[in-house]
């Protein structure tokens, strides 16, 4: 499994990143500083939302999955939101054949370039059109350059721009290489990395462990290199690795094809979980749903009780209406006798009355049975 993208991977990814040109920055997220992970959410008229994940110093790819990010963003994230929030992407490019991704924005403050260094410790630097550093993830000191706020940004020492080489230039680099193996020359001097250097040797039908190649070998290598750089895209997963095009596959490993190289990387590298806020929203929704269900159930029970009460009270009302004369006469007699008799004497006098079920002297109630 790739631990980082190569210059050739980025070369192919940048071609796919062109779909983001013209989009505006909707939101920027950043993980805690030790993770060096960013998510840029873009919106493009007619296309909708897109998300670019950059995990320094290893990967950059378009993702369909939003990671979990802290609710309170770190300082550099706040800085980016302030300076490129709402800005439109003018250009996305690779610097030479380096592992350097550049996003050019048209902002209210003029042109701004977000430089993403996908090598060594990784870094992210926002510069103006004259490359003066306006803000950066972290200051770094190198033997050949210093990166800090307020100074002009310096690129690392230039490497060979492999896609732009002529056959003569390609031949000269190989001839003057001090590497002990062909595969190392291709990997280091041409910035191809180990896997693509081995692929190039397979395509040229040369032994990767050769120390030197003659002119006939160069005649095989150079067109094979050009073919690999201009290869028709067939993004795939081969074994545990991902490629933007179909490789030789001498070991006949299982191969799975994808719609794009970004989707291939996204399928493996993204943690397919929702954000913390989304999880909280789901939890809140479930809590509200549960509370609503409880309230609804209680309301149903209460409604049933009321309906039953209505039926019972209606029956009682009908009975009272049917026996209205008898009840009125009885109440008049009891009220008259109560003026002269005690409760005990009153109970004795009316104990044989069929209408009276109980005389409750404590609460002053008369219970009738109709």
Please, are residues 262 and 22 in contact by the beta-carbon 8 Å criterion? Answer: no
The whole-number pLDDT of residue 103 equals 98
293 contacts: CB under 8 Å, gap ≥ 6: none
Locus of tokens 């963003």: 73
Does 11 lie in the same domain as 154? yes
Show which of 136, 159, 182 is a domain's final residue.
159
Mean pLDDT of 343-351: 78
pLDDT digits (tens, 9 = 90+) for 148-167: 999 999 999 999 999 999 99
DSSP 3-state of 230:
coil
Mean pLDDT of 336-354: 78
Distance CA 325, CA 313 (A): 19
Please, are residues 26 and 49 in contact by the beta-carbon 8 Å criterion? Answer: yes
Domain count, the chain: 3
Distance CA 161, CA 183 (A): 18
21 part of a folded domain: yes
Least confident of 87-96, 105-114, 269-278: 269-278
Task: Say yes or no to pLDDT of 335 above 50.
Answer: yes
Determine how many CB atoms are found less than 10 A away from the CB of residue 42. 21
Length of the chain: 370
Rg (Cα) of the chain, in Å, rounded?
41
Does 61 lie in the same domain as 125? yes
Whether the bond between 354 and the residue before it is cis, its omega within 30 degrees of 0, is no
> Which ranges of the chain does DSSP label H, i.e. alpha helix?
7-17, 75-84, 167-175, 182-184, 193-204, 215-229, 261-269, 276-322, 324-338, 343-349
Mean pLDDT of 342-352: 78
pLDDT classification of 112: cutoffs 50, 70, 90: very high
The whole-number pLDDT of residue 277 equals 47
275 part of a folded domain: no
Does 145 lie in the same domain as 19? yes
Does 340 lie in the same domain as 225? no
Does 77 lie in the same domain as 41? yes
pLDDT digits (tens, 9 = 90+) for 277-334: 455 555 566 667 777 778 888 888 888 887 787 777 777 777 776 777 777 777 788 7
Distance CA 337, CA 356 (A): 15
62 part of a folded domain: yes
151 contacts: CB under 8 Å, gap ≥ 6: 132, 133
Does 172 lie in the same domain as 66? no
DSSP 3-state of 50:
strand
The whole-number pLDDT of residue 6 equals 96
238 contacts: CB under 8 Å, gap ≥ 6: 247, 249, 253, 254, 255
Please, are residues 140 and 36 in contact by the beta-carbon 8 Å criterion? Answer: no
Please, are residues 145 and 177 in contact by the beta-carbon 8 Å criterion? Answer: no
Please, are residues 83 and 109 in contact by the beta-carbon 8 Å criterion? Answer: yes
What is each CA distance from 339 to 170, 333, 358, 367, in whole angstroms? 127, 10, 19, 19
Query: Nearest-CA neighbor of 120 among 96, 102, 138, 132?
Result: 138
Does 125 lie in the same domain as 30? yes
Mean pLDDT of 117-146: 95
For residues 121 and 344, the model is more confident at 121
Domain range for residue 338? Answer: 325-370
pLDDT digits (tens, 9 = 90+) for 12-60: 999 999 999 999 999 999 997 678 999 999 999 999 999 999 999 999 9
Distance CA 318, CA 357 (A): 19
pTM over 0.85: no
DSSP 3-state of 55:
strand
Q: Report the sign of the C-alpha dihedral through residues 316, 320, 326, 330, in that order.
A: positive
Does 109 lie in the same domain as 88? yes
Does 125 lie in the same domain as 107? yes
DSSP 3-state of 256:
strand
Determine what percent of the chain is predicted with pLDDT higher than 90.
63
Mean pLDDT of 184-207: 96
Does 144 lie in the same domain as 170? no
Q: Give me the chain's average pLDDT, please.
A: 89
Does 227 lie in the same domain as 108? no
Distance of CA 17 to the CA centre of its chain: 18
Please, are residues 362 and 344 in contact by the beta-carbon 8 Å criterion? Answer: no
pLDDT digits (tens, 9 = 90+) for 228-274: 999 999 999 998 899 999 999 888 999 999 999 999 999 988 876 54
For residues 109 and 170, the model is more confident at 170
Locus of tokens 């026996």: 323
Compute the C-alpha angle 269/15/11, nearest 5°. 70
For residues 9 and 251, the model is more confident at 9
pLDDT digits (tens, 9 = 90+) for 252-261: 999 999 999 9
Query: Nearest-CA neighbor of 63 among 42, 33, 82?
Result: 42
Least confident of 21-25, 132-136, 143-147, 222-226: 143-147
Please, are residues 98 and 157 in contact by the beta-carbon 8 Å criterion? Answer: no
The whole-number pLDDT of residue 145 equals 93
Mean pLDDT of 361-366: 74
């Amino acid at each position: 499994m790739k631990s980082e993208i190569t210059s050739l991977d980025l070369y192919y990814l940048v071609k796919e990143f062109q779909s983001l040109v013209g989009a505006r920055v909707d939101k920027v997220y950043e993980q805690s500083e030790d993770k060096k992970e960013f998510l840029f959410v873009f919106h493009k008229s007619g296309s909708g939302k897109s998300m670019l994940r950059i995990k320094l110093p290893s990967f950059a790819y378009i993702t369909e999955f939003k990671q979990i990010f802290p609710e309170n963003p770190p300082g550099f994230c706040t800085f980016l939101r302030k300076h490129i929030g709402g800005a439109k992407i003018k250009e996305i490019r690779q610097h030479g054949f380096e592992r350097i991704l550049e996003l050019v924005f048209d902002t209210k403050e003029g042109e701004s370039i977000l430089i993403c260094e996908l090598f060594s410790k990784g870094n992210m630097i926002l510069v103006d059109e004259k490359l003066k550093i306006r803000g950066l993830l972290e200051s770094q000191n190198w033997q050949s350059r210093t990166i800090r706020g307020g100074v002009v940004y310096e690129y690392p020492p230039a490497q060979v721009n492999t896609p732009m080489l002529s056959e003569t230039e390609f031949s000269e680099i190989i001839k003057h290489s001090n590497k002990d193996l062909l595969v190392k020359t291709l990997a280091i001097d041409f910035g191809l990395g180990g896997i693509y250097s081995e692929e190039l040797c397979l395509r040229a039908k040369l032994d990767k462990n050769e120390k030197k190649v003659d002119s006939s070998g160069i005649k095989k290598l150079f067109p094979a290199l050009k073919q690999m750089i201009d290869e028709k895209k067939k993004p795939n997963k081969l074994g545990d690795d991902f490629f933007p095009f179909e490789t030789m596959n001498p070991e006949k490993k299982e191969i799975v094809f994808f719609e794009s190289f970004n989707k291939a990387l996204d399928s493996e590298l993204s943690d397919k979980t929702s954000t913390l806020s989304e999880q909280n929203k789901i939890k809140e929704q479930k809590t509200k749903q549960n509370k609503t269900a409880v309230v609804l159930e209680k309301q149903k029970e209460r409604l049933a009780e009321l309906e039953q009460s209505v039926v019972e009270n209606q029956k009682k009302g009908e009975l009272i209406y049917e026996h209205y004369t008898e009840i009125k006469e009885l109440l008049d007699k009891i009220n008259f006798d109560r003026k002269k008799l005690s409760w005990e004497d009153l109970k004795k006098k009316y104990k044989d009355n069929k209408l009276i079920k109980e005389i409750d002297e404590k609460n002053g109630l008369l219970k009738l049975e109709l």
